[in-house]
Structures are given as C-alpha cells and as structure tokens.
Amino acid sequence: MTEEVQVPTPLLVPSAGLPEVIATEDAFSAAIAELAQGNGPFALDAERASGYKFSARAYLIQIARNGGGLHLLDPIPFGPGHRLFAELNNLLATDEVILHASTQDLPCLREVGINPVRLFDTELGGRLAGLPRVGLGPLLESLLGVSLAKEHSAVDWSTRPLPKDWLNYAALDVELLVELRNKVYQLLEEAGKLQWALEDFAAILAAPAAPPRVDPWRRTSGMHKVKKRNQMAVVRELWQERNSLAEDIDVSPSRLLSDAAITEIALASDKGPITNRKHLEKILKPLGLRARWLENAATWISCITDAIAMPEDQWPEARTKSDAMPPIKIWRERFPEKFAPLSHARFNLQLRADELSIPLENLISPELVRRICWQPPETSVAEALVAMGARRWQSEIAAPILEAALLEKEPLEVEEVSDSEVTDEKSI
C-alpha cells in the first residue's frame, strides 16, 4: 500500500492579522512595551535590499514574541543609534534571540544598535541536527507541516511604501520562528548535539568583523580571462570608480556596470583606444547591453584612458604576494608530501561527518584541514585548530583524525579536491 504523502498547510497570513508598520517614536515605544509583557525568546528577522543598494542596511525588522505580539519596524525613520534601538536592545538582552541564518542578518541589526547576547540560529541548528534541507521554508514544512511562500525574498525592500503582500511575507518569516526553534532544540537535544550548537551560536556572536579585503577588485567575476597587467589596470580603475559612485548614490555596483562588462572592456582595451560612447556600446552589446551601463559612459571612458596612460610601474602586479597556500589541484603533482595526509584527512573526516549526520563543513572547516596538512603544527593539532577558530567540540572530533592523517606518506585514490570546497561560510 502506498504511503499517503502529507501536503503542508499553506501559511498565508499572520494569526493575529498583519500589523501596521512602525515608523514613529510613539509606535516604537508601544511595541517595546508590548514585547516586554511577553515571555520567552524573541524571533527576529531583517530585510535588506541586496542587489539594489550598495549598503547592506536593514529596511525592515520583524520581531515576534509569545505574548508580546508581532511587530514590523521600519528602521529608516530612526537611524542607527536611536535611543529606542538601545531600549529594544536592552530588552532583547533579557532572553534568547532567534534568527535564521544569523550571519546574514547580524551585521545590519548591529548597525542600528541591536546586539544579541544569546542566540539560537535555526538554520545552523538544523544543519547540526542532520536535516537535509535547512532553508526556512523546508524546515517549516518538515518540522511544523506548513508551507511558506518565498516569492518576495529578492525584492527591493527600500521601496516606500512597502506593498501589503511584501509585509505579509515578512511577517510570516517570524510568525512560527519560536515554535520552529523549539523543534530544532528538541532534535539537537535528542541527538546529543545541543552543546555543540550552543557553542557555535556563542562563537557567531563573539566573532570579530572580517578585515577588509586586499585588492578586492581582483575578485571581479571573469578576472581569470584578464592576463595582461595593462588590462588589469583597466579593471582596477573601472572597479574602483564604479564602487565609489555606487556608494555615493547607494545603488548596487552591478547595476551601474556589471563585472562581466568590466572584464570585457579590459580585454577590448588592448586592441585600441576606447574613446567614445558608440565604441563602448559596441563592446558591451554581446553581453546584453543595459541602458544604465552607458549612463556613466564618459566616466568609464575616462577611467580606461587613465589606466592606459598609466606608467608601467603603476600597473598592478600579475600576482599578489601572499602567504596563501597554492591551489589544491596542484598538490598531488607538486606537493605529494602535503597531498597524502590531505587525502586521508578528507576521506576520514567525511566518514565521521556522515556517522554524525553533520555536513563536513560544519564538522570542521575544509580551510582549516588544508592549513593543518600544509603546515603541521608544532603544538598539538587540537590546540592549533582552536587557535585557528575551530570550536572545542570540532577540535575534539577532528584532531585525532588529522593527527593520524599527518603520518600518511601515500595518498588515497579518491576524487580530486577542488578549491571550491576549501572555504565555507556556513561553519562560521
């Protein structure tokens, strides 16, 4: 007999109706007072205008609490550091704050003055619990039996006034977050992983801000096609001018000029001067030319001209001096003494991750594994891992496997390791 498939119940509107957007001090104060009357953890979410704006600021903050209501807050009328954000932050410090994929929202929340002191991340908790799909929608379906529409996740949240259906979507993101947290908590507790999760949550809150990237223009998409230093100079000048202009007018840089357009212009610059808008249009046409790319044509042409006229000693170096390790794809051939332990480490760590029903990147960052194998520590592997940012629980599991791998002289015949597997933000 075929097992009947349960269809999740669509979650269409908040149970108490859609609240008004908070945009005045009186309404903000009333919301804080109502939240204070509630009990238990606070469910939080934030909406940004990624892909539309240069900044990563929050354009809507959603807060819910059992007995404390559900609130939609427009942070823009108040601005960062407003006294009411400080008051809200003091209230949030009295209990746990629930976020889904917290590393995405914490920066914009901290910008306005919201700094949780206790965190529960339902996405990361779901990963550690061994759930196969950990997006908010899939988690609500698998654990609570409800479905959540996600059709407004990529809209421009800086729009004012915000459409009612967008606000409804935003409210539903926190409607059941407390209940979801309780389900994930239970799963973690039953699996003996709760302390692991709590350690990870605390580490997220304690993590320092990432340092600014060196030469961020080198990460321009398509940069691998740019081989000559004079072309690199064109990329650098265009990238820097584009980002400066984008920041000034708070618009996503790609809307002014895409990465693909920058690299295409750089490649074309080697074939002759680019002196007018028509020439620029011809270069960009094969990419699906956007009208906005040409709004600043004079500026782009000026950047190109300046880069080409630049003395050779001012061109970027083809390669930056770095203490970074070489790409993994060359380890087998050029560094077999490093590749042998790496192959054993990865294989056995994956086995252990599978046994624990944890994604490998959450058991231990692949980047840390690579660093240990590239330069084995003089101290214990366990302490070295912690010093490099691993959690204690991760170190306790991974260190013995790595120590054994470091003794290996012959590689395992396993699938080649790709550099895309090396870094992972989910394990932060």
DSSP 102-128: HHHHHHHHHHHT---SSEEEHHHHHHH
Global confidence as pTM: 0.91
- The C-alpha atoms of residue 376 and residue 366 are separated, in whole angstroms, by 15
- The C-alpha atoms of residue 353 and residue 397 are separated, in whole angstroms, by 10
- The CATH number for 9-206, chosen from 3.40.50.1110, 3.40.50.300, 3.10.310.30, 3.30.420.10, is 3.30.420.10
* Token pair recorded at residue 364: 């231990």
* Token pair recorded at residue 128: 């550690």
- The C-alpha atoms of residue 306 and residue 237 are separated, in whole angstroms, by 8
Count CB-CB contacts under 10 A for residue 97: 24
Q: What is the mean pLDDT of each run of 10 residues along the chain (428 residues)?
A: 68 93 98 98 97 96 98 97 97 98 97 98 98 95 90 88 95 97 98 98 93 92 94 97 97 96 95 91 90 94 95 90 81 96 97 97 96 94 96 98 97 64 39
Domain with CATH 1.10.150.80 in the chain: 216-314, 328-421
CB 99 within 8 A of CB 174: no
Domain with CATH 3.30.420.10 in the chain: 9-206
- The C-alpha atoms of residue 344 and residue 408 are separated, in whole angstroms, by 7
End-to-end CA gap in the chain: 45
- The C-alpha atoms of residue 122 and residue 124 are separated, in whole angstroms, by 6
pLDDT for residue 149: 78
Sheet of strand 21-22: strand arrangement: 21-22, 69-73, 60-65, 42-47, 97-99, 119-121
- The CATH number for 328-421, chosen from 3.40.50.300, 1.10.645.10, 1.10.150.80, 2.30.30.100, is 1.10.150.80
pLDDT for residue 154: 85
- The C-alpha atoms of residue 90 and residue 420 are separated, in whole angstroms, by 41
pLDDT for residue 35: 98
Q: Helices 164-175 and 177-190, interaxial angle, to 10°? A: 30
Q: Answer whether the bond into residue 161 is a cis peptide, omega within 30°.
A: yes
DSSP class of residue 364 equals S
- The CATH number for 216-314, chosen from 1.10.150.80, 3.90.850.10, 1.10.3470.10, 1.10.3720.10, is 1.10.150.80
Secondary-structure breakdown of the chain: helix, strand, coil percentages, each rounded to the nearest 5: 55, 5, 40
pLDDT for residue 324: 76
pLDDT for residue 427: 34
- The C-alpha atoms of residue 263 and residue 223 are separated, in whole angstroms, by 6
pLDDT for residue 323: 62
* Token pair recorded at residue 156: 């421009």
pLDDT for residue 415: 60
Q: Cα angle at 299 between 296 and 305, to 5 degrees? A: 140
Residues 6+ apart with CB under 8 A from 48: 56, 57, 58, 59, 108, 157
pLDDT for residue 424: 40
pLDDT for residue 153: 76
- The C-alpha atoms of residue 286 and residue 295 are separated, in whole angstroms, by 18
